[in-house]
Chain A
Amino acid sequence: MELLNTIFVAPFIDMFSAPDFLIQVLWEGFVSGILYALLALGFVLIFKASGVFNFAQGIMVVFAALTLVGVYALLQSLGLSPAFAAWISLFLTIGVMGILALSIERVVLRKLVNQPDIILFMATIGLTYFLIGFGELVFGGEPQKMIASELGIPSGSTSFDVFSGVVILEHADITAAIVAAVLVVCLGFFFSKTRIGRALRAVADDHQAALSVGISLNQIWVIVWFAAGIVALATGIMWGAKSDVSFALQIIALKALPVLVLGGFTSIPGAIVGGLIIGFGEKIFEIYWGGLIGGGTESWFAYVIALVFLLFRPQGLFGEKIIDRI
């Protein structure tokens, strides 16, 4: 009885006795959910267009963020003003992501056309390792400070008094939410309204049919990897503004996998909703139940939720029904 009480009753009493705190928890969940969603978005883009599950998305986030910081430091040493240098380095980084996309397509993807998905997946694991080594060689292994204020991301926080308590909203978090929303809208527009977007969807539906009506697969792949690179850059900036940029982020990026299982591998809204579910769920479970079993549950909670979900709805919330089911 005691046990049932601590599991099923006490946490809820906790929640409603301090509603301001609950709102804070939900907000934090929302913020991390947004970041998971951004990560997952990068995966979805590539998966939709090429059927490749891009394991390297996480390291691309780190790589993009580190390039940004590195280029900035370089420009700064040439004597440019901070804000100017920051924006120039942003554009240069976008260029670097473009080159990365191009070279990945040329060196890896083009050579692996028609291979089973799992081979492509493993190739992206190889790519991850390569980029880890390369990134550490160029930028060093130490955590770097993101150039958030130079890019005009506001710091500081606003607090509201609600329910005789206080809720603190970080400005950087609010910016992250807005950026994520804008990115999703842009990508949605890009996919549905532009010519390239339609071509992308065609490729996603059927490679051969798309080829037969004259869509260049290679070109599409470069574009998609480039788009994923830009999403990675945005994720890296937002995440970096919250904490430093370091290679540890690459592991957090694996969380995108359970997000995708929840949301479906091919759905952009699914990535968002999945990210938010994981974000909220993780935080609430850790805060109100985590203490019962020793805490630190965030490392596995998302995966276990995904595992349970897989048993009941393997295609995800918004995914297409055609999946590897047995």
Chain B
Amino acid sequence: MKKLIKIGAAVACLTTAVAATAPAYAEDVLYIPSLSYRTGPFAGGGTPNANGFADYFNMLNERDGGIGGVKIMLEECETGYSSKKGVECYESTKGKGALVYNPLSTGITLQLIPKAPVDKIPILSMGYGLSATAIGEKFPWTFNYPTTYWNQLSSILKYADSKGGLKGKKVGFIYLDVGYGKEPIPLLEILAKKMGFTITKYPVGVKEMQAQSSTWLKVRKDRPDWMIMWGWGAMNSTAVKEAAKIRFPLDRFIGNWWSGAHADMRPVGEAAKGYMAANFSGIGTSFPALQDVIKYVVDKGKSQVKSKDLVGDVLYNRGLFNAVVVAEAIRAAQKATGKKAITGADMRVGLETFKLTKERLKELGLEGFTAPIIASCKDHEGAGPVFIQQWDGKDWKRISDLIPPMNDIVRPLLEEAAAKYVADKPGWKTQTCK
């Protein structure tokens, strides 16, 4: 009994101590929380991304001593792809002087969007999140460079259209049945009317991710001409396996950029040959920046990556690219404000002003890694192009040029969606751009 009381007292002390000491980090550190997930059904995607993200910053610390002479401090918080845990992570890290949040989850992004303007910390949902946040006037604090889901979908459809036309065809849309997967549906429905194809939707619940046989039976019944996938985690490999099983032609099956990772296709191997996916970040380690990462971080054992071969994977490079954008924005913010240690609000300015031009990419050692991004106040996405990659049984091979999105169609729809989002939120802060 006494023991119990003692333990209870100790716990109570610890609680108060922990609660009282959520410390704000010293001024001369760039503090970046990384909401990662290395456990749960989506760990297969979350882990490489988190590794790439962390390794690039570590490399900057090791090679350049940080950014502008200020060290970067990265803190990981495990979310398990759960939006509830994501919010907990957000709350527990925002007080420490966080510069920007990269949640790598549409669900978590949706939760954080309304909080960002209040806490004055921007969100960079790179290639995920709410498409409508591309409208900078309506969402001053949220960014989704290099392009949105909606624009990506239009690029994918363009590609499919170039391979024999979509008019009068049947397109199947298989998606993870959460906020992430449902996000592009409104655009899909509009484009279906515009481009003259019909769509069939195949939702896959998180719990059925690995038991998709009935979904694919339905695909077999409906016989669509094209399949487009918005999948994540264990869903991707299962879907491709099942598609191969029902003998769906895999060169008519395109995944989005979260459905085309090495981690997804390696377990399927030869069976997945021909499957395609969109991508916007380079594949492989043939870039000087990645060589630096290997030299300064991976070889020194400072990376969490399990083996060196995993460096240069699609999702590793995606995470690294995310870090590059953050680093560039920090540089821009330092330049704009003249301060070395910046705040979340300065970071927002940086995210609206950085210029990742071709020349700058070359300077960074990432020539040809991705399309240039020119940030602006109005446009928080950049409407960047994507390319299509194909699985050859062992590795991903880029098979198309950069495909620009149908921004002229998508942009007005985004404006509309943004206006709808803001409409039922009294007191929502917008901004006007010059």
CB within 8 Å of B: which residues of A?
A: 14, 18, 21, 24-25, 28, 31-32, 136, 140-143, 145, 157, 168, 170, 243-244, 246-249, 251-252, 282-283, 286-287, 290-291, 294-296, 298-299
CB proximity of A232 to chain B, nearest CB, Å: 17
Contact of B234 among A24, A28, A243 (CB under 8 A): A243
Contact of A244 among B38, B214, B221, B267 (CB under 8 A): B267
CB proximity of B244 to chain A, nearest CB, Å: 10
B214 & A170 in contact (Cβ 8 Å cutoff): no
A28 & B214 in contact (Cβ 8 Å cutoff): yes
Q: 8 Å CB contacts to A: which residues of B177-218?
A: 177, 201-211, 213-214, 217-218
Stretch of B39-47, B351-359, B416-424 contacting A (4+ beta carbons < 8 Å): B39-47
**Residue contacts A-B, CB under 8 angstroms, 5 given:** A243-B237, A244-B234, A249-B210, A286-B214, A286-B218
**CB of B220 closer than 8 Å to a CB of A:** yes
A141 & B39 in contact (Cβ 8 Å cutoff): yes
Closest to A295 in B: B203
Q: How far is the CA of A130 from the CA of B43 in the complex (A)?
A: 20
**CB of B246 closer than 8 Å to a CB of A:** yes
A252 & B213 in contact (Cβ 8 Å cutoff): no
Q: How far is the CA of A157 from the CA of B244 in the complex (A)?
A: 11
Q: How far is the CA of A281 from the CA of B211 in the complex (A)?
A: 15
**CB of B238 closer than 8 Å to a CB of A:** yes
A252 & B207 in contact (Cβ 8 Å cutoff): yes
B214 & A142 in contact (Cβ 8 Å cutoff): no
A252 & B203 in contact (Cβ 8 Å cutoff): no
A157 & B245 in contact (Cβ 8 Å cutoff): yes
Q: In the assembled complex, which residues on chain A have CB atoms less than 8 Å from the CB atom of B206?
A: 248
B41 & A247 in contact (Cβ 8 Å cutoff): yes
Closest to A249 in B: B210
Closest to A283 in B: B214
Contact of A136 among B39, B207, B208, B233 (CB under 8 A): B39
Q: In the assembled complex, which residues on chain A have CB atoms less than 8 Å from the CB atom of B38?
A: 140-141
Q: In the assembled complex, which residues on chain A have CB atoms less than 8 Å from the CB atom of B263?
A: 142
Closest to B204 in A: A296
A141 & B43 in contact (Cβ 8 Å cutoff): yes
Q: In the assembled complex, which residues on chain A have CB atoms less than 8 Å from the CB atom of B204?
A: 296
B238 & A296 in contact (Cβ 8 Å cutoff): no
B245 & A168 in contact (Cβ 8 Å cutoff): yes
Q: In the assembled complex, which residues on chain A have CB atoms less than 8 Å from the CB atom of B213?
A: 28, 31-32, 283
A287 & B214 in contact (Cβ 8 Å cutoff): yes
CB proximity of A266 to chain B, nearest CB, Å: 27
Contact of B214 among A141, A143, A157, A298 (CB under 8 A): A298
Q: 8 Å CB contacts to A: which residues of B369-420?
A: none
CB proximity of B401 to chain A, nearest CB, Å: 33
CB proximity of A254 to chain B, nearest CB, Å: 9
Q: In the assembled complex, which residues on chain A have CB atoms less than 8 Å from the CB atom of B220?
A: 21, 24
Q: How big is chain B's contact interface, by range?
A: 35 or more
Q: How far is the CA of A273 from the CA of B419 in the complex (A)?
A: 55
Q: 8 Å CB contacts to A: which residues of B27-43?
A: 38-41, 43
CB proximity of A140 to chain B, nearest CB, Å: 7
CB proximity of A315 to chain B, nearest CB, Å: 29
Given contacts A295-B203, A296-B177, contact A248 B210 (CB under 8 A): yes
Q: In the assembled complex, which residues on chain B have CB atoms less than 8 Å from the CB atom of A294?
A: 203
Count chain B CB atoms within 10 A of each CB in A170, A244, A252 and give the residue with the most. Answer: A244
Contact of B246 among A168, A246, A248, A282 (CB under 8 A): A168
Q: In the assembled complex, which residues on chain A have CB atoms less than 8 Å from the CB atom of B39?
A: 136, 140-141
Q: In the assembled complex, which residues on chain A have CB atoms less than 8 Å from the CB atom of B6?
A: none
Leading 7 A-B pairs by shortest Cβ distance: A141-B39, A243-B210, A141-B43, A145-B267, A248-B41, A142-B43, A286-B214
Contact of A243 among B40, B211, B214 (CB under 8 A): B211
Q: How far is the CA of A252 from the CA of B208 in the complex (A)?
A: 8
Count chain B CB atoms within 10 A of each CB in A142, A244, A295 and give the residue with the most. Answer: A142
B218 & A287 in contact (Cβ 8 Å cutoff): yes
**CB of B247 closer than 8 Å to a CB of A:** yes
Given contacts A28-B217, A168-B246, A170-B245, contact A299 B210 (CB under 8 A): no
**CB of B170 closer than 8 Å to a CB of A:** no
Q: How far is the CA of A143 from the CA of B261 in the complex (A)?
A: 14
CB proximity of B185 to chain A, nearest CB, Å: 12
Q: How far is the CA of A25 from the CA of B216 in the complex (A)?
A: 10
Q: In the assembled complex, which residues on chain B have CB atoms less than 8 Å from the CB atom of A287?
A: 214, 217-218, 221
CB proximity of A300 to chain B, nearest CB, Å: 10
**CB of B169 closer than 8 Å to a CB of A:** no
Q: 8 Å CB contacts to A: which residues of B271-306?
A: none
A282 & B214 in contact (Cβ 8 Å cutoff): yes
**CB of B158 closer than 8 Å to a CB of A:** no
Q: How far is the CA of A282 from the CA of B44 in the complex (A)?
A: 29
Q: How far is the CA of A226 from the CA of B214 in the complex (A)?
A: 33
Q: In the assembled complex, which residues on chain B have CB atoms less than 8 Å from the CB atom of A157?
A: 245
Q: In the assembled complex, which residues on chain B have CB atoms less than 8 Å from the CB atom of A25?
A: 217
Given contacts A157-B245, A251-B207, A296-B203, contact A142 B221 (CB under 8 A): no
Given contacts A24-B217, A296-B205, contact A142 B44 (CB under 8 A): yes
CB proximity of A59 to chain B, nearest CB, Å: 14
Closest to B80 in A: A141
Q: In the assembled complex, which residues on chain A have CB atoms less than 8 Å from the CB atom of B237?
A: 143, 243-244
Q: How far is the CA of A136 from the CA of B245 in the complex (A)?
A: 30
Q: In the assembled complex, which residues on chain B have CB atoms less than 8 Å from the CB atom of A32?
A: 211, 213
B234 & A246 in contact (Cβ 8 Å cutoff): yes
Q: How far is the CA of A31 from the CA of B211 in the complex (A)?
A: 11
Closest to B266 in A: A145
